[in-house]
Protein backbone atom coordinates (compact mmCIF):
# COMPACT_ATOMS: atom_id res chain seq x y z
CA UNK A 1 0.00 0.00 0.00
CA UNK A 2 1.45 3.35 -1.01
CA UNK A 3 2.28 5.80 1.72
CA UNK A 4 1.78 8.82 -0.51
CA UNK A 5 0.02 9.75 -3.77
CA UNK A 6 1.20 12.67 -5.89
CA UNK A 7 -0.28 14.05 -9.11
CA UNK A 8 2.02 15.56 -11.76
CA UNK A 9 1.49 17.03 -15.20
CA UNK A 10 4.58 15.50 -16.78
CA UNK A 11 6.69 12.65 -15.41
CA UNK A 12 10.03 11.85 -17.02
CA UNK A 13 11.43 8.41 -16.26
CA UNK A 14 15.20 8.29 -16.65
CA UNK A 15 17.98 10.79 -17.12
CA UNK A 16 20.69 11.16 -19.74
CA UNK A 17 20.57 13.36 -22.87
CA UNK A 18 17.02 12.25 -23.74
CA UNK A 19 15.52 12.73 -20.30
CA UNK A 20 17.21 16.03 -19.53
CA UNK A 21 16.42 17.50 -22.95
CA UNK A 22 12.78 16.48 -22.53
CA UNK A 23 12.86 18.14 -19.13
CA UNK A 24 14.26 21.40 -20.51
CA UNK A 25 11.53 21.66 -23.14
CA UNK A 26 8.76 20.51 -20.80
CA UNK A 27 9.79 22.97 -18.11
CA UNK A 28 9.91 25.89 -20.55
CA UNK A 29 6.37 24.93 -21.64
CA UNK A 30 5.13 25.21 -18.04
CA UNK A 31 4.51 21.48 -17.73
CA UNK A 32 6.34 21.41 -14.37
CA UNK A 33 8.13 18.15 -15.10
CA UNK A 34 9.26 15.74 -12.42
CA UNK A 35 12.26 13.64 -13.45
CA UNK A 36 13.44 10.51 -11.71
CA UNK A 37 17.08 9.77 -12.51
CA UNK A 38 16.92 6.00 -12.20
CA UNK A 39 19.58 3.58 -11.06
CA UNK A 40 22.26 5.20 -13.26
CA UNK A 41 21.86 9.00 -13.04
CA UNK A 42 23.06 10.50 -16.29
CA UNK A 43 22.76 7.25 -18.23
CA UNK A 44 25.40 5.54 -20.35
CA UNK A 45 27.39 8.72 -20.93
CA UNK A 46 28.54 8.67 -17.33
CA UNK A 47 30.82 5.77 -18.35
CA UNK A 48 32.32 7.77 -21.23
CA UNK A 49 35.55 9.57 -20.47
CA UNK A 50 35.55 12.01 -23.38
CA UNK A 51 32.69 13.31 -25.52
CA UNK A 52 33.98 15.11 -28.60
CA UNK A 53 31.12 14.71 -31.08
CA UNK A 54 28.32 16.59 -29.29
CA UNK A 55 27.77 20.03 -30.88
CA UNK A 56 28.66 23.01 -28.72
CA UNK A 57 31.73 21.55 -27.02
CA UNK A 58 34.65 22.47 -29.31
CA UNK A 59 37.21 21.22 -26.82
CA UNK A 60 35.24 18.14 -25.81
CA UNK A 61 33.84 17.31 -22.39
CA UNK A 62 33.71 14.28 -20.13
CA UNK A 63 30.45 12.35 -20.08
CA UNK A 64 29.78 12.93 -16.35
CA UNK A 65 30.49 16.68 -16.66
CA UNK A 66 28.14 16.95 -19.61
CA UNK A 67 25.34 15.23 -17.69
CA UNK A 68 25.84 17.59 -14.75
CA UNK A 69 25.49 20.56 -17.09
CA UNK A 70 22.35 19.13 -18.68
CA UNK A 71 20.86 18.48 -15.26
CA UNK A 72 21.64 22.02 -14.12
CA UNK A 73 20.07 23.44 -17.27
CA UNK A 74 16.90 21.41 -16.72
CA UNK A 75 16.74 22.54 -13.09
CA UNK A 76 17.26 26.17 -14.05
CA UNK A 77 13.92 26.09 -15.86
CA UNK A 78 12.17 24.43 -12.94
CA UNK A 79 12.50 20.69 -13.45
CA UNK A 80 12.12 18.75 -10.22
CA UNK A 81 15.02 16.28 -10.49
CA UNK A 82 14.77 13.45 -7.99
CA UNK A 83 16.76 10.41 -6.94
CA UNK A 84 14.99 7.08 -7.17
CA UNK A 85 13.68 4.69 -9.76
CA UNK A 86 10.35 3.36 -10.91
CA UNK A 87 9.54 -0.07 -9.48
CA UNK A 88 6.01 -0.59 -10.85
CA UNK A 89 3.65 0.94 -13.41
CA UNK A 90 -0.05 0.77 -14.20
CA UNK A 91 -1.00 2.28 -17.56
CA UNK A 92 -4.46 0.73 -17.71
CA UNK A 93 -6.31 4.02 -17.10
CA UNK A 94 -6.24 7.51 -18.60
CA UNK A 95 -4.25 8.82 -15.65
CA UNK A 96 -1.14 6.68 -15.62
CA UNK A 97 0.22 5.41 -12.34
CA UNK A 98 3.78 4.67 -11.35
CA UNK A 99 5.40 3.70 -8.07
CA UNK A 100 8.78 5.04 -6.99
CA UNK A 101 10.96 2.83 -4.79
CA UNK A 102 7.78 0.86 -3.99
CA UNK A 103 6.56 3.65 -1.70
CA UNK A 104 5.49 6.82 -3.51
CA UNK A 105 2.58 6.53 -5.95
CA UNK A 106 2.48 9.11 -8.74
CA UNK A 107 -0.42 9.82 -11.07
CA UNK A 108 0.77 11.49 -14.27
CA UNK A 109 -1.11 13.20 -17.10
CA UNK A 110 1.83 12.52 -19.43
CA UNK A 111 4.83 10.24 -19.15
CA UNK A 112 8.09 10.46 -21.09
CA UNK A 113 10.14 7.28 -20.97
CA UNK A 114 13.89 7.89 -21.22
CA UNK A 115 15.21 4.77 -19.56
CA UNK A 116 17.80 4.05 -22.26
CA UNK A 117 19.55 0.78 -22.93
CA UNK A 118 22.46 -0.98 -21.28
CA UNK A 119 25.39 -2.29 -23.27
CA UNK A 120 26.15 -5.96 -22.78
CA UNK A 121 29.67 -6.78 -21.65
CA UNK A 122 31.57 -10.04 -21.28
CA UNK A 123 31.72 -9.65 -17.51
CA UNK A 124 35.47 -10.15 -17.12
CA UNK A 125 37.04 -8.45 -14.11
CA UNK A 126 39.75 -6.94 -16.30
CA UNK A 127 37.17 -5.67 -18.79
CA UNK A 128 35.17 -3.95 -16.06
CA UNK A 129 38.34 -2.54 -14.49
CA UNK A 130 39.44 -0.69 -17.63
CA UNK A 131 35.86 0.26 -18.47
CA UNK A 132 35.56 2.07 -15.14
CA UNK A 133 38.99 3.63 -15.53
CA UNK A 134 38.10 4.89 -19.00
CA UNK A 135 41.33 3.30 -20.12
CA UNK A 136 40.45 1.56 -23.35
CA UNK A 137 37.24 -0.48 -23.05
CA UNK A 138 34.18 0.71 -24.96
CA UNK A 139 30.83 -0.52 -26.26
CA UNK A 140 30.51 2.20 -28.92
CA UNK A 141 32.93 2.48 -31.83
CA UNK A 142 31.19 5.54 -33.26
CA UNK A 143 31.48 7.29 -29.88
CA UNK A 144 35.06 6.37 -29.03
CA UNK A 145 36.77 5.09 -32.17
CA UNK A 146 38.30 8.49 -32.92
CA UNK A 147 40.50 8.22 -29.81
CA UNK A 148 42.19 5.13 -31.31
CA UNK A 149 43.03 6.48 -34.74
CA UNK A 150 46.28 5.08 -36.13
CA UNK A 151 46.32 2.44 -33.38
CA UNK A 152 45.50 -1.28 -33.16
CA UNK A 153 42.25 -2.40 -31.54
CA UNK A 154 40.28 -5.58 -30.80
CA UNK A 155 36.52 -5.94 -31.19
CA UNK A 156 34.33 -8.80 -29.90
CA UNK A 157 31.10 -9.77 -31.62
CA UNK A 158 29.59 -11.65 -34.55
CA UNK A 159 26.40 -9.83 -35.51
CA UNK A 160 25.56 -6.99 -37.87
CA UNK A 161 26.40 -4.35 -35.26
CA UNK A 162 29.81 -5.90 -34.61
CA UNK A 163 30.58 -6.00 -38.33
CA UNK A 164 29.42 -2.44 -38.79
CA UNK A 165 31.54 -1.20 -35.89
CA UNK A 166 34.58 -3.20 -37.04
CA UNK A 167 34.27 -1.66 -40.49
CA UNK A 168 33.94 1.80 -38.95
CA UNK A 169 37.06 1.24 -36.84
CA UNK A 170 38.99 -0.01 -39.88
CA UNK A 171 38.79 3.49 -41.35
CA UNK A 172 40.46 4.96 -38.27
CA UNK A 173 42.78 2.26 -36.97
CA UNK A 174 45.81 0.63 -38.49
CA UNK A 175 44.53 -2.84 -37.56
CA UNK A 176 41.27 -4.27 -36.22
CA UNK A 177 41.25 -7.80 -34.80
CA UNK A 178 37.78 -9.27 -34.63
CA UNK A 179 37.09 -12.09 -32.16
CA UNK A 180 34.19 -14.36 -33.11
CA UNK A 181 33.22 -17.07 -30.61
CA UNK A 182 31.76 -19.48 -33.17
CA UNK A 183 33.04 -20.69 -36.54
CA UNK A 184 30.81 -18.28 -38.44
CA UNK A 185 29.19 -14.85 -38.20
CA UNK A 186 25.65 -14.27 -37.01
CA UNK A 187 25.62 -11.20 -39.23
CA UNK A 188 23.93 -10.95 -42.61
CA UNK A 189 26.00 -12.19 -45.52
CA UNK A 190 26.52 -8.70 -46.91
CA UNK A 191 27.87 -7.39 -43.59
CA UNK A 192 30.10 -10.42 -43.06
CA UNK A 193 31.49 -10.06 -46.57
CA UNK A 194 32.23 -6.41 -45.97
CA UNK A 195 34.55 -7.08 -43.03
CA UNK A 196 36.08 -10.14 -44.69
CA UNK A 197 37.01 -7.99 -47.66
CA UNK A 198 38.54 -5.20 -45.56
CA UNK A 199 42.31 -5.49 -45.67
CA UNK A 200 43.14 -4.28 -42.15
CA UNK A 201 40.51 -6.40 -40.36
CA UNK A 202 41.76 -9.77 -39.11
CA UNK A 203 38.98 -12.20 -38.11
CA UNK A 204 39.70 -14.93 -35.56
CA UNK A 205 36.90 -17.49 -35.45
CA UNK A 206 36.33 -19.89 -32.54
CA UNK A 207 38.10 -17.37 -30.33
CA UNK A 208 37.08 -16.06 -26.92
CA UNK A 209 38.51 -13.33 -24.70
CA UNK A 210 40.25 -14.58 -21.56
CA UNK A 211 41.54 -11.27 -20.23
CA UNK A 212 41.95 -7.63 -21.14
CA UNK A 213 45.60 -6.78 -20.54
CA UNK A 214 46.84 -3.42 -19.33
CA UNK A 215 49.38 -1.48 -17.31
CA UNK A 216 46.95 -0.62 -14.53
CA UNK A 217 45.75 2.53 -16.25
CA UNK A 218 45.17 1.76 -19.94
CA UNK A 219 44.66 -1.28 -22.15
CA UNK A 220 47.77 -2.74 -23.76
CA UNK A 221 46.41 -5.95 -25.25
CA UNK A 222 44.02 -8.88 -25.09
CA UNK A 223 44.61 -12.51 -24.16
CA UNK A 224 42.38 -14.78 -26.23
CA UNK A 225 41.86 -18.53 -26.53
CA UNK A 226 40.84 -20.70 -29.43
CA UNK A 227 37.97 -22.80 -28.09
CA UNK A 228 38.76 -25.67 -30.45
CA UNK A 229 42.54 -25.96 -30.27
CA UNK A 230 42.97 -24.41 -26.78
CA UNK A 231 45.74 -22.22 -28.20
CA UNK A 232 46.21 -19.01 -26.20
CA UNK A 233 47.48 -15.85 -27.86
CA UNK A 234 48.13 -12.27 -26.79
CA UNK A 235 47.06 -9.53 -29.17
CA UNK A 236 48.63 -6.06 -28.81
CA UNK A 237 45.90 -3.40 -28.70
CA UNK A 238 45.18 -0.04 -27.11
CA UNK A 239 41.40 -0.39 -27.41
CA UNK A 240 38.95 -3.21 -26.64
CA UNK A 241 35.48 -2.83 -28.14
CA UNK A 242 32.56 -5.00 -27.09
CA UNK A 243 29.78 -5.33 -29.68
CA UNK A 244 27.60 -8.13 -28.37
CA UNK A 245 24.42 -6.11 -28.16
CA UNK A 246 22.41 -3.80 -25.95
CA UNK A 247 19.49 -4.50 -23.66
CA UNK A 248 16.79 -1.79 -23.50
CA UNK A 249 15.70 -0.92 -19.98
CA UNK A 250 12.02 -1.44 -20.73
CA UNK A 251 10.90 -4.67 -19.04
CA UNK A 252 8.79 -2.79 -16.50
CA UNK A 253 6.59 -1.47 -19.34
CA UNK A 254 6.11 -4.78 -21.17
CA UNK A 255 2.54 -5.37 -19.95
CA UNK A 256 1.31 -2.08 -21.41
CA UNK A 257 3.54 -0.89 -24.25
CA UNK A 258 4.29 -2.54 -27.58
CA UNK A 259 7.88 -3.73 -27.70
CA UNK A 260 9.82 -5.27 -30.56
CA UNK A 261 11.35 -8.74 -30.33
CA UNK A 262 14.42 -7.42 -28.50
CA UNK A 263 12.53 -5.21 -26.06
CA UNK A 264 12.76 -1.76 -27.65
CA UNK A 265 9.62 0.35 -27.33
CA UNK A 266 7.82 0.74 -30.66
CA UNK A 267 6.99 4.36 -31.41
CA UNK A 268 4.83 5.83 -34.15
CA UNK A 269 7.22 6.68 -37.02
CA UNK A 270 8.14 10.35 -37.05
CA UNK A 271 7.02 10.92 -33.47
CA UNK A 272 7.67 9.87 -29.89
CA UNK A 273 4.16 8.44 -29.43
CA UNK A 274 3.70 4.91 -28.12
CA UNK A 275 0.59 2.75 -28.42
CA UNK A 276 -0.86 4.46 -25.32
CA UNK A 277 -2.19 8.01 -25.29
CA UNK A 278 -0.13 10.26 -23.07
CA UNK A 279 2.90 7.97 -22.96
CA UNK A 280 5.92 8.98 -25.03
CA UNK A 281 9.38 7.53 -25.53
CA UNK A 282 12.77 9.10 -26.23
CA UNK A 283 16.36 8.00 -26.55
CA UNK A 284 17.80 4.51 -26.57
CA UNK A 285 14.71 2.88 -25.07
CA UNK A 286 13.34 3.03 -28.62
CA UNK A 287 16.45 3.58 -30.75
CA UNK A 288 18.49 0.50 -31.61
CA UNK A 289 20.02 2.03 -34.74
CA UNK A 290 21.83 5.28 -33.90
CA UNK A 291 22.32 5.20 -30.10
CA UNK A 292 24.08 8.58 -29.97
CA UNK A 293 23.79 11.36 -27.39
CA UNK A 294 22.74 13.86 -30.04
CA UNK A 295 19.95 11.66 -31.43
CA UNK A 296 18.76 10.88 -27.90
CA UNK A 297 18.60 14.60 -27.13
CA UNK A 298 16.64 15.20 -30.34
CA UNK A 299 14.02 12.62 -29.45
CA UNK A 300 13.83 14.06 -25.94
CA UNK A 301 12.82 17.36 -27.53
CA UNK A 302 10.25 15.55 -29.68
CA UNK A 303 8.76 13.78 -26.67
CA UNK A 304 8.30 17.01 -24.73
CA UNK A 305 6.68 18.73 -27.71
CA UNK A 306 4.40 15.74 -28.31
CA UNK A 307 3.43 15.70 -24.62
CA UNK A 308 2.72 19.43 -24.67
CA UNK A 309 0.47 19.09 -27.73
CA UNK A 310 -1.30 16.13 -26.18
CA UNK A 311 -2.18 18.16 -23.10
CA UNK A 312 -3.19 21.20 -25.16
CA UNK A 313 -5.62 19.08 -27.19
CA UNK A 314 -7.30 17.92 -23.98
CA UNK A 315 -7.97 21.43 -22.69
Tens of pLDDT along 176-200?
A: 999 999 999 998 999 999 999 999 9
Q: 216 and 158 in one domain?
A: yes
Q: Which of 144, 284, 287, 306 is catalytic?
A: 144
25 has pLDDT over 50: yes
Q: 264 and 161 in one domain?
A: no
Q: Which of 80, 83, 125, 140 is catalytic?
A: 140
Q: 100 and 13 in one domain?
A: yes
Tens of pLDDT along 61-105?
A: 988 899 999 999 999 999 999 999 899 999 998 889 999 988 889
Choose the final residue of a domain: 218, 242, 266.
Answer: 242
Chain mean pLDDT for the chain: 93
Choose the final residue of a domain: 221, 242, 263.
Answer: 242
Whether 140 is catalytic is: yes
Q: 257 and 176 in one domain?
A: no
Domain that holds residue 161: 121-242
Tens of pLDDT along 4-23?
A: 789 999 999 999 999 999 99
Model confidence band, residue 49 (pLDDT cutoffs 50, 70, 90): low
Q: 58 and 44 in one domain?
A: yes
pLDDT at 286: 96
| Residues 248-256, mean pLDDT to the nearest whole number | 96
Q: 306 and 275 in one domain?
A: yes
Tens of pLDDT along 220-250?
A: 999 999 999 999 999 999 999 999 988 999 9
- pTM for the complete prediction? 0.81
Q: 136 and 95 in one domain?
A: no
Q: 147 and 107 in one domain?
A: no
Q: 252 and 238 in one domain?
A: no
CA distance 295 to 116: 12
pLDDT at 129: 95
Residue 197: CATH number of its domain: 3.50.50.60
pLDDT at 4: 72
Whether 143 is catalytic is: yes
Q: 236 and 175 in one domain?
A: yes
Q: 52 and 113 in one domain?
A: yes
Choose the final residue of a domain: 193, 212, 242.
Answer: 242
| Number of domains the chain is built from | 2
Q: 267 and 218 in one domain?
A: no
Q: Which of 143, 173, 287, 306 is catalytic?
A: 143
Amino acid sequence: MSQKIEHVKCLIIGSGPAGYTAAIYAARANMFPVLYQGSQPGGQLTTTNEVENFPGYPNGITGPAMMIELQEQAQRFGTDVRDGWITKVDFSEEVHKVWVNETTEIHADTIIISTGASAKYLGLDSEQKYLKLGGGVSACAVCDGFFYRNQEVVIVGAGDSACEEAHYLSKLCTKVTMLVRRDEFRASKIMAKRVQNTENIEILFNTETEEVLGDGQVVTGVRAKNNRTAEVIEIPATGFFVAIGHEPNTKIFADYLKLDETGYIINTPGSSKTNLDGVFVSGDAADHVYRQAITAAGTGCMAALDAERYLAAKE
